[in-house]
Amino acid sequence: MTQNTTAAPAATDSAPAGQWWRDAVIYQVYPRSFADGNGDGMGDLPGITARLPHLRDLGVDAVWLSPFYASPQADAGYDVADYRAVDPVFGTLTDADELIRAAHALGLRVIVDIVPNHCSDRHEWFRQALREGPGSPARERFLFRAGRGAAGELPPNDWESVFGGPAWTRVPDGEWYLHLFAPEQPDFDWDHPAVHDEFRSVLRFWLDLGVDGFRIDVAHGLVKAPGLPDVGHGEQVKLLGKQAVPYFDQDGVHEIYRGWRRILDEYSGGSERIAVAEAWTPTVERSARYLRRGELHQAFNFEYLTTGWDAAALRAVIDRSLTAMDAVGAPATWVLSNHDVVRHTTRLSGEGGAGDGDGGARGTRRARAATLLMLALPGSAYLYQGEELGLPEVTDLPDEVRQDPAFFRGAGQDGTRDGCRVPLPWSGRRAPYGFGPVEGGPSWLPQPDSWRDLSVAAQTGDPASTLEFYRRALAARRAHPALGAGPGLVWLPSPEGVLAFSRTAAGGSFVCTVNLTGAPVALPTPGTVLLAGADVVPGAEETVLPADSAVWWAA
């Protein structure tokens, strides 16, 4: 393997030179479900490379790839057995190299996932820790402890796994080890210098291969409170992201990221290498702490993602996000969907599943409006594969095909993450709809029949389709000077349930209006329509915004 010499694409947007990430639209690829090059029913790296032109045509700036590293797949690859190897199910290191080069040649940057909180129980370090037993140096790289109770038969503390059940598993020699997720995902002990050295080396490995950045998995989890104190009560998953717990968002994590930032800066040159934190913190203000000078570049805005279809609540979280990020000089980020949450077409429908009653149609209307709102906000936006096709959550997967470990542990993240991970439909009238090369061939999760009409091929060229709507939105976002990095926003007077704001840059002004109510609302016409998420007939003075719709205006 040679060092990757392909240059990262030139900055083409309005962010300062090299700081492409400040207003980037970053598209999450979930490798097992994106495109299957070899027909085994599981997506792979050659499949992704072959489909990169779709992402260029969509108009995104960068691709973030969920893990494709060597892994027993106990948590769909978030259980890494070798951080420097590609799992054979996804391809080879040469395939990864080719993917990165092909993406760069198309003007797309590449961000990869790094999973530093835990590894797989098949990782060489953990196998060694099990072999060498209590008191061995190999155990010190993980969190092994004696149990409580007369015979050590109780877990060392009351911490619970995010996937449900105790966060501790006992090994045959009597010690327990900590796993904040599945038992197959032992947590590293970040007090150990070897863990620091290892991850710095892993960062360099992928940077040398040419990646443009990292998405840091469970970035808030690496450091645990000294002494591993009890939380004090159960059902801890309900506290997560709302209240402090001794295993998340400890101040010690920041020193780690200051070290990582120095490495990223070493590689940056004319185009910065970035890191984005997956940190489920109680507030955007806590998230902003990961983005202080000398730390990370971006953090996912989960407070935005979890805010419902409510104008006042959205306006409040937008204001708080912009203020908090501004205070540390970081761009805000916006996200509606990812591989861990119910797809927003379904989530915003207000009903359990797309297709019940008017839920499907309402979900689609709201999803488009939500997309226009998100892409109009200052900063950077994350898209999840398939949202550009308007895919709903698959809510009726039979239990026997499910693979989410949270499903089997019966709690935590409610165990339904397979519903947003169903393989994408690309073309054709028969499953797997072009996901794999063979009609009638396998896909690791079954796709609904209705997806034949949602494939990339079925939607391409249809101006009413969600796909063409996303393409128009991303093109308009690139073209308009007041969008993307542009300036902050100014709220305009609007009736209850309606959001209206303007953004003004040297080359022109822009207005976004969003009607979040279930009824049409008349507003003063702010300019000429740049893009509408629904049928809108602009009047000279007033324009009626349909229920659950958004419009972009050139003002």
CB of 218 to ligand GLC, least distance (A): 5
CB of 273 to ligand GLC, least distance (A): 21
- Measured between alpha carbons, how far is residue 195 from residues 192, 201, 223, 295, 409 in Å? 6, 10, 12, 19, 29
CB of 221 to ligand GLC, least distance (A): 8
Query: Which CB atom, from 121 or from 217, has the smaller least distance to ligand GLC?
Result: 217
- The residues pairing with 277 across neighbouring beta strands, listed in sequence order, are 216, 299
Instruction: Assess whether 439 carries a catalytic annotation.
Output: no
- The residues pairing with 64 across neighbouring beta strands, listed in sequence order, are 28, 111
Residue 52 is inside which H or E element, if any? Answer: helix 45-58
Burial tier of 504 (Cβ tally within 10 Å: 0-12, 13-18, 19+):
middle
Q: Of 474, 287, 445, which is closest to residue 375 (Cα–Cα)?
A: 474
CB of 260 to ligand GLC, least distance (A): 18
Backbone CA torsion sign across 67, 68, 74, 79: negative
Alpha-carbon span 237 to 235, nearest angstrom: 5
- Find the catalytic residue in 197, 266, 396, 449: 266
Q: Encode 99-115: b = buried (16+ Cβ within 10 Å), e = exposed.
A: bbbbbbeeebbbbbbbb
438 is written with which tokens? 């063979």
Query: Which CB atom, from 46 or from 241, has the smaller least distance to ligand GLC?
Result: 241
Strand segments, DSSP code E, in 52-94 are: 62-65, 69-70, 82-86
Query: Which CB atom, from 276 or from 482, has the smaller least distance to ligand GLC?
Result: 276
Distance from the first to the final alpha carbon of the chain:
52
Residue 489 in 3-state DSSP?
A: coil
CB of 415 to ligand GLC, least distance (A): 11
Instruction: Assess whether 388 carries a catalytic annotation.
Output: no
184 is written with which tokens? 């197959």
Q: Encode 312-349: b = buried (16+ Cβ within 10 Å), e = exposed.
A: eebbebbebbbebbeeeebbbbbbbbbbbbbbbbbbbb
- Find the catalytic residue in 189, 217, 393, 418: 217
- Measured between alpha carbons, how far is residue 12 from residues 22, 130, 329, 483, 484 in Å? 12, 51, 21, 14, 12
550 is written with which tokens? 């958004």
Query: Which CB atom, from 238 or from 262, has the smaller least distance to ligand GLC?
Result: 238
Query: Which CB atom, from 241 or from 436, has the smaller least distance to ligand GLC?
Result: 241
The residues that touch ligand GLC, with contacts defined as CB under 6 A, are 75, 78, 115, 181, 217-218, 278, 339-340
Alpha-carbon span 326 to 436, nearest angstrom: 44
Alpha-carbon span 464 to 468, nearest angstrom: 7
Alpha-carbon span 97 to 495, nearest angstrom: 52
CB of 474 to ligand GLC, least distance (A): 24
205 is written with which tokens? 């490995």
CB of 80 to ligand GLC, least distance (A): 9
CB of 480 to ligand GLC, least distance (A): 32
| Residue nearest ligand GLC (C-beta atom) | 78
Query: Which CB atom, from 144 or from 407, has the smaller least distance to ligand GLC?
Result: 407
- Measured between alpha carbons, how far is residue 439 from residues 45, 91, 426, 429 in Å? 20, 22, 12, 9
Query: Which CB atom, from 120 or from 345, has the smaller least distance to ligand GLC?
Result: 120
Torsion of CA 340, 346, 350, 353, to 10 degrees: -100
CB of 473 to ligand GLC, least distance (A): 26
Query: Which CB atom, from 40 or from 340, has the smaller least distance to ligand GLC?
Result: 340
Query: Which CB atom, from 44 or from 75, has the smaller least distance to ligand GLC?
Result: 75
Catalytic residues: 217, 266
